[in-house]
């Protein structure tokens, strides 16, 4: 297994280019979960191009495929209600904000940006019609609704509430947001990932330094994958928070929080072997990739930084200073000529 120490390589020059097409820019949006802002970073230059104040404790983030709208869930710890904020990423203008349920977390939207599923701390996922700017329905899952994934075709939503449910609820978006199934996992479900073809669903779960894999057709767990504990961390308790599939679908990356490591597993072999581990400078909480699979961006929550990793060689290319407790992040492709 390839094991890389960031101290030996963090001074490498930034040399990769993410390959945005002419007339478009690829921007990393990094929410700062204990601040009131988002850092927006051009992934080609790795420079902060915008610091946007959106509201207290911005948490979850999602965007339509065409890059015309970004949705951010505002937790606002001091308020009994949360907010859903809609932003035009071409102008950074907040185009709409609406009051929603308490303490909203990681939301997801359909690829066309029409429907937004927002997990709120009232046991429900709030379903928003972003076009009509209305709450369509609320789906009760119990537990603490926290994470959400949408299938690439926009037909199914996978709801991952923390706590006692220990299952993922599957909703048919086109059938009036109807619950159509569940995937039981062995413990409280945390950050998920979904294969682009929709066949496999992956879950960080409590009590496992690793993830479980389920078959979405049979809705059964088919594998339980444990990360190799990094050197120096034997006996130190940890948990995993942050799971993402590289866009070329060859690898899945998982954030091991207290062991300050991102583990990389192969998706080309259904034994899901660990093929690399990338040491981080602090506690890691979320990650995303550039669309061309060349770069990974890891939120290093404890250090107010985003770590940029060469997603092919697994080398740490550098760090970008962001805000207070960076958690969720997302690369948004903006078409300037749209």
Cα 335–chain centre separation:
22
Q: According to CB under 8 A, which residues from 121 to 140 bind another protein?
A: 121-122
Segment contacting another protein by CB under 8 A, of 45-53, 75-83, 129-137, 290-298: 75-83
The answer to whether 177 touches 137, Cβ cutoff 8 Å, is yes
When binding is defined by CB under 8 A, the residue of 39, 46, 124, 144 that contacts another protein is 144
When binding is defined by CB under 8 A, the residue of 177, 219, 239, 250 that contacts another protein is 239
Q: What is the largest CA-CA distance in the chain?
A: 54
Q: Quote the DSSP letter at residue 147.
A: E
Q: According to CB under 8 A, which residues from 246 to 305 bind another protein?
A: 258, 283, 302, 304
Q: Quote the DSSP letter at residue 176.
A: T
Written in H, E and C, the secondary structure of 298-327 is EEEHHHCEEEEEECCCCCEEEEEECCCCEE
Q: According to CB under 8 A, which residues from 183 to 222 bind another protein?
A: 187-188, 206-207
When binding is defined by CB under 8 A, the residue of 42, 50, 65, 163 that contacts another protein is 163
> Looking at beta carbons only, is 46 or 59 nearer to another protein?
59
Closest separation in Å from C-beta 160 to another protein: 13
Closest separation in Å from C-beta 78 to another protein: 6
When binding is defined by CB under 8 A, the residue of 9, 10, 24, 34 that contacts another protein is 34
> Looking at beta carbons only, is 56 or 291 nearer to another protein?
56
Q: According to CB under 8 A, which residues from 303 to 332 bind another protein?
A: 304, 325
Please enumerate in sequence order all residues whose Cβ is within 8 A of that of 175, keeping only pairs 6 or more positions apart, or say none.
none
When binding is defined by CB under 8 A, the residue of 13, 15, 22, 80 that contacts another protein is 80
> Looking at beta carbons only, is 185 or 272 nearer to another protein?
185
Please enumerate in sequence order all residues whose Cβ is within 8 A of that of 80, keeping only pairs 6 or more positions apart, or say none.
102
Q: Quote the DSSP letter at residue 56.
A: S
Q: What would the DSSP string read from start to end of 186-223?
A: SS-EEEEEE-TTSSEEEEEETT-SEEEEEETTTTEEEE
Closest separation in Å from C-beta 275 to another protein: 27
CA distance 307 to 251: 18
Check residue 102 for interaction with another protein (CB under 8 A). yes
Beta bridge partners of 166: none
* Site residues for another protein per CB under 8 A: 33-34, 56-57, 77-80, 102-103, 121-122, 143-144, 162-164, 187-188, 206-207, 237, 239, 258, 283, 302, 304, 325
């Amino acid at each position: 297994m390839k094991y890389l120490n960031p101290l030996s390589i963090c001074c490498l020059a930034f040399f990769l280019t993410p390959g945005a097409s002419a007339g478009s820019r690829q921007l990393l949006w990094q929410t700062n979960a204990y601040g009131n802002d988002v850092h927006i970073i051009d992934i080609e230059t790795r420079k902060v191009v915008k610091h946007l104040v959106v509201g207290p404790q911005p948490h979850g983030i999602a965007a339509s495929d065409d890059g015309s709208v970004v949705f951010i869930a505002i937790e606002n710890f001091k308020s009994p209600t949360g907010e859903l904020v809609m932003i035009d990423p071409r102008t950074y203008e907040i185009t709409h904000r609406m009051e929603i349920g308490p303490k909203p977390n990681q939301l997801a939207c359909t690829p066309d940006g029409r429907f937004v599923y927002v997990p709120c701390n009232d046991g429900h996922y709030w379903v928003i019609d972003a076009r009509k700017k209305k709450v369509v329905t609320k789906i009760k899952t119990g537990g603490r609704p926290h994470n959400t994934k949408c299938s690439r075709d926009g037909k199914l939503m996978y709801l991952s509430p923390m706590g006692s449910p220990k299952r993922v609820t599957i909703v048919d978006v086109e059938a009036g947001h109807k619950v159509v199934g569940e995937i039981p996992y062995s413990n409280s479900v945390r950050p998920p990932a979904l294969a682009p073809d929709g066949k496999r669903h992956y879950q960080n779960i409590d009590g496992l330094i690793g993830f479980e894999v389920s078959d979405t057709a049979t809705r059964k767990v088919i594998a339980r994958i444990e990360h190799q504990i990094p050197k120096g961390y034997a006996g130190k308790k940890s948990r995993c928070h942050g799971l993402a599939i590289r866009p070329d679908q060859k690898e899945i990356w998982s954030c091991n929080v207290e062991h300050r490591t991102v583990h990389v597993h192969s998706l080309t072999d259904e034994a899901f072997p660990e093929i690399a581990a990338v040491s981080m400078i602090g506690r890691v909480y979320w990650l995303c990739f550039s669309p061309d699979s060349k770069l990974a961006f890891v939120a290093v929550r404890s250090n107010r930084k985003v770590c940029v990793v060469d997603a092919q060689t697994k080398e740490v290319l550098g760090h970008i200073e962001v805000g207070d407790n960076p958690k969720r992040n997302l690369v948004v492709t903006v078409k300037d000529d749209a």
